[in-house]
Amino acid sequence: MALLDQLKSMFGLAEERGAPTANAIDKNLAAAALMVHVIAADGKITTDEESRLMQVLREHYSVTDGEALTLANAAKLAQTDAVDMYRFTSILKDEMDQSERLALVEDLWEMVYADGELHEFEDNVVWRVAELIGIQSRERMVLKQRVLDRLNQSGPKA
């Protein structure tokens, strides 16, 4: 239980239910929770998806391996307790500028394709998040294509 208490303390999670309060969630936790929501949308989280989540957190949020693991675990808790995505997207819309929100949508596409498959539920989550944070359909599709192009250039998974 000590790890759970540390996570709650580190990310300002409410004590009474273990759910993050709206103003206690920082933008990194909100973004990570949405990434977890995407990889969980098809009903299973693969090791490839877990690995990609950790890589994106380290590279795009400038955290260490340990911090990325802590953030991912806190995101899983926050996402599980969330009734809807609005608690996360409202924070991100307020605290991120346009370029950060575009980068987040690109990160979400990275999560969608982490297991090598496009699942309609994952696609739908990215669409809804993009709409809620003010990213237009055209921009969302450009970001999707950018991720696909990058994946195609790197070749098939080993």
Q: pLDDT tens track of the chain, all 158 residues? A: 444 454 555 555 444 344 444 445 799 999 999 999 999 998 889 999 999 999 999 999 989 999 999 999 999 998 887 778 898 999 999 999 999 999 999 999 999 999 988 999 999 999 999 999 999 999 999 999 999 999 998 765 54
Question: Which pTM value belongs to this model?
Answer: 0.81
Q: Give me the helices (H) in 27-156, please.
A: 27-40, 47-61, 65-81, 86-95, 98-112, 120-132, 137-154
Contacts of 53 (CB under 8 A, 6+ apart): 32, 35, 36, 39, 72, 111, 114
Closest CA to 38 of 125, 100, 116: 125
What are the structural domains of the chain?
2-154 (1.10.3680.10)
Predicted pLDDT of residue 17 = 42
Predicted pLDDT of residue 32 = 96
Predicted pLDDT of residue 81 = 79
Alpha-carbon distance values, 88 to 32, 44, 75, 144 (Å): 9, 21, 11, 21
Other beta carbons within 10 angstroms of residue 142's beta carbon come to 13
